Structure 1
Amino acid sequence: MILSLMHFFKVTTEAELWWVIFGFFAQAMFMMRFLVQWIASERARRSLVPVAFWYFSLLGGLTLLAYAVHRRDPVFIFGQALGTVIYVRNLWLIHASRNRTLES
């Protein structure tokens, strides 16, 4: 089974196979943000971006960044690193806004 997966994914070591599996997990986390956003929008019958969207963005972005660093892909690294900064900033703004609301 492992050898056939290694052949299918064109990797030569079991460690590299685990990195590919990790990459698929990372991509799934990143894709979940769209599913969460879509479900929230459908329920509200208007376009929404729930907080969970930003958490999945951050988790997916960080795991994809780790995968990109392992693969030494500068284009992928740049894109995920920049995105991660944006996701953190959005979460910070959301939580700061909530704290201001609680203080009022």
Structure 2
Amino acid sequence: MLLYVVGFLAQVFFSARILLQWILSERAKRVVSPSIFWILSLAGSYLLFIYGWMRDDFAIVLGQVISYYIYIWNLSAKGVWAKVPGIARALLLVTPVVAIGFAVSHADTFVHDFFRNEKVPLWLLLFGSVGQVIFTLRFVYQYFYSRRRGESVLPVGFWIISLTGSAAIVAYGIVRHDPVLILGQSVGFIAYTRNILIYRKARAASAGNGG
């Protein structure tokens, strides 16, 4: 029971970030990157990391490790991270490091639980991991794009990658009978598509005004 409470709570944070970002973008008539998006991303990632660990699901853990520190960078770029209490910052920074250190120091157990999990065949693990990597690469893309711009933004490529990776994760969740993944990813489909449309409409309007 606790397992699904943690998992669904993580997806609540992820769904809330998408809905709020979508609403704020509709109001601004352009795609925006609000601080609340990154705050909820970090909270959801922390919980989903724990969920993946509790479920012995390497695909989920891998996806969160890749994007976790990018969330922190975006919060730092927006001046929010410095306002977080020192103890909370330390806890957020070291948790993935401690988990990875534990995995390395208990390599045999880690390999057995994550890579030889009878509930997750190797082919399915690989498929799920590829989906997570694609889905998470959107944040890697967003990070480098934002670094070049000198500010935290959510470019159109971010949303296109989101749609592709999300579709793969939903397929993985269906095969794995994982309601947390299915529900969490399905909610984002409309928002991802709408952000692409908002971006194109804003770009067309800018071109029409000679911008």
TM-score class, shorter: 0.7 to 0.9
User: Given the alignment, which residue of 109, 116, 137 partners 1:9?
Assistant: 116
Deviations 1:16-64 (A, max 9, x none): 3212111000000111011111101111111121111111111111111
Distance 1:100 1:61, change over 3 A: same
Distance 1:12 1:44, change over 3 A: closer
Q: Which has the higher contact order (CA 8 A, sep 6+)?
A: 2
**How many residue pairs get matched?**
98
After TM superposition, give the deviation of residue 103 of structure 1 in Å. Answer: 5.5
Alpha-carbon separation, structure 1, partners of 2:180 and 2:163: 18
Distance 1:18 1:86, change over 3 A: same
- Report the equivalent of 2:163: 58
| Identity score, percent | 35
Alpha-carbon separation, structure 2, partners of 1:70 and 1:12: 11
**TM-score (norm. length: structure 1):** 0.78
Q: Does 1:80 align with 2:182?
A: no
Counterpart amino acid of residue 80 in structure 1: Q
Alpha-carbon separation, structure 2, partners of 1:41 and 1:103: 26
Distance 1:102 1:43, change over 3 A: closer
Alpha-carbon separation, structure 1, partners of 2:202 and 2:151: 22
> What value does the CA root-mean-square deviation take over the aligned residues?
2.5
- Report the equivalent of 1:92: 197
Alpha-carbon separation, structure 2, partners of 1:67 and 1:40: 29
Alpha-carbon separation, structure 2, partners of 1:21 and 1:48: 31
